[in-house]
């Protein structure tokens, strides 16, 4: 097999379909060799908002978010291993864009492949886009995978 142009790809995942598609694309890119690091970030801002408006404790909420992350990391890890790609996983806590950019530097990733989940309205204005911030601050190229809108199915032949 031919080797990949990229030797170490970081894929942050939030469980969205776009981030799963980014991981699948990274696996395809690395089939000829290279390493894949999968990352899930427990977003402190989300944790604080859930705690503020819910009746569960911070520990319960954090545990739930970590379990959510573990499930996605495990699913994506298995997929990469089945394809013969060397893979490791990481779970961090903090501001997602900061953690993504910092880990990419730490592991010397030569590509970040990530999904884009569109935000609209006030949330986008106030918080900005994680993807946009990663694009602005990453030391390496960033491949953004958008989840395609469902296409109307073709009529069945009669």
Q: Is residue 110 part of a domain?
A: yes
Q: Is 37 helix (H, G, I), strand (E, B) or coil?
A: strand
Q: Phi, psi at residue 126, to the nearest 5°?
A: -75, -45
Q: Is residue 31 part of a domain?
A: yes
Q: Is residue 152 part of a domain?
A: no
HEC letters along 92-117:
EEECHHHHHHHHHHHCCCCEEEEEEC
Q: Is residue 151 part of a domain?
A: no
Q: Is residue 102 part of a domain?
A: yes
The proportion of the chain whose per-residue pLDDT surpasses 90, expressed as a percent, equals 65
pTM over 0.75: yes
Both tokens of 128, joined, read: 């900005």
What pLDDT, in 10s, does the model give residues 33-87?
Answer: 999 999 999 998 888 888 888 788 888 989 999 999 999 999 999 999 999 999 9
Query: Looking at the predicted structure, is the pLDDT value of residue 153 above 60?
Result: no
The Cα 92–Cα 94 span in angstroms is 7
What pLDDT, in 10s, does the model give residues 119-144?
Answer: 555 544 444 589 999 999 999 999 99
Bridge partners, 143 (sequence order): 113
- Please tell me the total count of domains within the chain: 1
Q: Is residue 1 part of a domain?
A: no
Using an 8 Å Cβ cutoff, are 77 and 27 in contact?
no
Q: What pLDDT, on the 0 to 100 scale, is given for residue 3?
A: 62
Domain residue limits at 24: 8-146
Q: Is residue 68 part of a domain?
A: yes
What CATH number is associated with residue 12?
Answer: 3.40.50.620
pLDDT band at 25 (very low <50, low <70, confident <90, very high): very high
């Amino acid at each position: 097999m031919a080797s990949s142009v990229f030797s170490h790809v970081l894929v942050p995942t939030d469980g969205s379909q776009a981030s799963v598609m980014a991981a699948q694309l990274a696996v395809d890119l690395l089939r000829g060799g290279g390493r894949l690091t999968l990352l899930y970030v427990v977003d402190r801002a989300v944790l604080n908002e859930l705690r503020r408006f819910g009746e569960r404790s911070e520990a319960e909420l954090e545990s739930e978010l970590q379990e959510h992350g573990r499930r996605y990391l495990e699913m994506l890890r298995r997929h990469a291993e089945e394809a013969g790609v060397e893979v490791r996983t990481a779970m961090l806590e903090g501001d997602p864009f900061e953690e993504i950019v910092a880990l990419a530097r730490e592991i010397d990733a030569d590509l970040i492949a990530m999904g884009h989940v569109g935000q609209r309205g006030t949330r986008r204005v106030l918080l900005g886009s994680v993807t946009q911030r990663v694009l602005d601050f990453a030391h390496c190229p960033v491949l953004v995978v958008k989840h395609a809108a469902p296409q109307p199915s073709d009529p069945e032949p009669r």
